[in-house]
A and B are shown apart, each in its own frame.
Chain A
Amino acid sequence: GESVGLHLPTLSVQEGDNSIINCAYSNSASDYFIWYKQESGKGPQFIIDIRSNMDKRQGQRVTVLLNKTVKHLSLQIAATQPGDSAVYFCAETLNTGTASKLTFGTGTRLQVTL
């Protein structure tokens, strides 16, 4: 499939290690944040979301942390697997119900080595 963002920042981690992907968002008024995973040739896939009234949310092997003071979002992946290799995007929005367009970050490429 077509490579997305050939010049993206890249994070290389060994299989089994934990991964931390960071994102700085732009709009202090944003109140809803989402992490997406994009594999080659596919569309962005929803991983986990968090609302601004929370600072941490956990899913299966993933945790999102939100620091509104410094407008920072991170995605932690526990026990990283080869199938986690992809480009990861954070997205922010000011959720107004029916009009909630997402603004995406530039993305980080995660490479999992064996």
Chain B
Amino acid sequence: DSGVTQTPKHLITATGQRVTLRCSPRSGDLSVYWYQQSLDQGLQFLIQYYNGEERAKGNILERFSAQQFPDLHSELNLSSLELGDSALYFCASSAPNSPLHFGNGTRLTVT
């Protein structure tokens, strides 16, 4: 168990809808990262937050947004969903200069 908790485990929704994925980092970790994993793209970095502030941005679509709250949990919001957004979404957390530890992901299916 990595100590990173993601909910929900599975999410099925229709095109055009909006969903929110939730992540609780490991105790004490200030950094939270979001990654997308699809069959043909591997693990793609989306965004990183450190202690509530955005720290790095990757290939995140404008339809997607994230935030990190004062209690350090994070949410990833996906809107105007398209079929191509179906993927596994992983959250990871870390301490400075330490490896990332990943949760078990949320599997999003857009129909």
- Which residues of chain A have C-beta atoms less than 8 A from B101's C-beta? 46
B-contact bits for A19-49, CB 8 A (1 contact / 0 none):
0000000000000101010000111111001
- Which residues of chain B have C-beta atoms less than 8 A from A45's C-beta? 2, 102
> Are B45 and A103 in touch, CB under 8 angstroms?
yes
A104 and B102 contact, Cβ closer than 8 Å, known pairs A2-B88, A97-B97: no
Main secondary structure of the interface of B (DSSP, over half): strand
* Docked complex Cα distance between A42 and B4 (Å): 12
> Are A2 and B107 in touch, CB under 8 angstroms?
yes
Of all chain A residues, which has the CB nearest B54?
A99
Please report the total number of B residues contacting A with Cβ < 8 Å: 30
* Docked complex Cα distance between A97 and B48 (Å): 13
- Minimum distance in angstroms from B5 CB to a CB of chain A: 11
- Minimum distance in angstroms from A86 CB to a CB of chain B: 13
Q: Which bucket holds chain A's interface residue count?
A: 20 to 34
- Which residues of chain B have C-beta atoms less than 8 A from A97's C-beta? 96-97
- Minimum distance in angstroms from A11 CB to a CB of chain B: 17
* Docked complex Cα distance between A7 and B101 (Å): 25
